Amino acid sequence: MTLAVEQGEFFGLLGPNGAGKTTLINVIAGLARADAGSVRVMGADVSADYRRARRMLGVVPQELVFDPFFTVRETLRLQSGYFGIRANDAWIDEIMAHLDLAAKADVNMRALSGGMKRRVLVAQALVHKPPVIVLDEPTAGVDVELRQGLWQFVRRLNRDGHTIVLTTHYLEEAELHCSRIALLKAGRIAALDSTRNLLDMFSGVELRLRLDRESLPAAFPGKLVSFDKSFFVVKLEDYGQLEDALVSLRQAGVKIREMELQPPDLEEVFVRLTGRGS
């Protein structure tokens, strides 16, 4: 695959399990070696110039890993040291404040809840102020409150100029945050475009209707998905078909009791491109 993420982007890597998202991240991070090809982080080759490449990169791993021997502050100080940074306490305090970790600074990692451990992982990825931040499923198993706090912080980092690469199973998260998305399937890029374009390109509009009778006019466009509790659910190809739908109802003399439009959904794109479902 060929893929370039621009500086300052909020980029999403999506795909079903086994599509190769984590493998790709591992290659970028130097945790795995590519059989062929090359990866550069801010111009630094991850193999030939690995020291520079790794300094540019902050990775939040998918698994909830921690070292049970140390407290939160010790963990963050050690991580700073590994990146060659001494006396990093001012920045460490700032990260901890943003991630609501300050109260846990001197607590042993073992004693933290899963959500707190996840925050420490994020903090560890940021100790060296990397221009590129990779988040591998950062919200898996994380409660709603933390999820929101985490996204606020990540968006702030993105606004401050950090490039963000995100993998997630939660399509709504990708839809909400990512400006561009690559859909991976079996190690290949199945689609690569701006989130907007992907949604426009692949997804129809779902129309929910309650009428004054229990049948649709013959000329009604789109595809009937279901009829349940007097609600018709119809799939339209695009917004343009909405006009045809309304015209057909008026011509047949049908009155609309209730109407609701469901905008395009990334889930739909995902399912279609990865060939799951219908």
Partner 1 sequence: MTSFRTLLYKETLRFWKVSVQTVAAPVLTALLYLVVFAQALEDRVRVFDGIAYTDFLVPGLVMMSVLQNAFANSSSSLVQSKMTGNIVFILLPPITYLEFFGAYVLASMLRGLIVGAGVLAVTAWFVDLRMQAPLWALAFALLGAGLLGTLGVLAGIVSDKIDQMAAFQNFVILPLTFLSGVFYSIRSLPEFWQALSHANPFFYMIDGFRYGFFGVSDFAPAASLAVVGASLAAVSSITLLLLKSGYKLRH
**Binding interface with partner 1 (CB under 8 A):** 26, 29-33, 50-52, 54-55, 57, 59, 61, 63, 65-70, 74, 78-86, 124, 128
Smallest distance from partner 1 to CB 31, Å? 6
Is 67 or 172 the residue whose CB approaches partner 1 more closely?
A: 67
Smallest distance from partner 1 to CB 238, Å? 45
Q: Contact, 137 vs 92, CB < 8 A? A: no
Render the chain in DSSP notation, one character per residue: ----PPTT-EEEEE--TTSSHHHHHHHHHTSS--SS---EETTEETTTTHHHHHHTEEEE-SS----TTSBHHHHHHHHHHHTT--S-HHHHHHHHHHTT-GGGTTSBGGGS-HHHHHHHHHHHHHTT--SEEEEESTTTT--HHHHHHHHHHHHHHHHTT-EEEEE-S-HHHHHHH-SEEEEEETTEEEEEEEHHHHHHHH--EEEEEEESSSS--TT--SEEEEEETTEEEEEESSTHHHHHHHHHHHHTTPPEEEEEEEPP-HHHHHHHHHT---
Rounded to whole angstroms, what are the CA distances from 160 to 8, 88, 153, 154?
A: 9, 20, 11, 10
Smallest distance from partner 1 to CB 80, Å? 8
Is 14 or 44 the residue whose CB approaches partner 1 more closely?
A: 44
Smallest distance from partner 1 to CB 32, Å? 5
Smallest distance from partner 1 to CB 118, Å? 14
Is 50 or 231 the residue whose CB approaches partner 1 more closely?
A: 50
Is 26 or 195 the residue whose CB approaches partner 1 more closely?
A: 26
Is 118 or 177 the residue whose CB approaches partner 1 more closely?
A: 118
Smallest distance from partner 1 to CB 43, Å? 15
Sign of CA dihedral 24, 29, 32, 35: positive
Is 83 or 231 the residue whose CB approaches partner 1 more closely?
A: 83
Is 120 or 211 the residue whose CB approaches partner 1 more closely?
A: 120
- How far apart (Å, rounded) are the C-alpha atoms in residues 158 and 154? 6
Q: Contact, 168 vs 137, CB < 8 A? A: yes
Residue entry with tokens 């931040």: 133
Is 51 or 229 the residue whose CB approaches partner 1 more closely?
A: 51
Smallest distance from partner 1 to CB 246, Å? 56
Smallest distance from partner 1 to CB 35, Å? 11
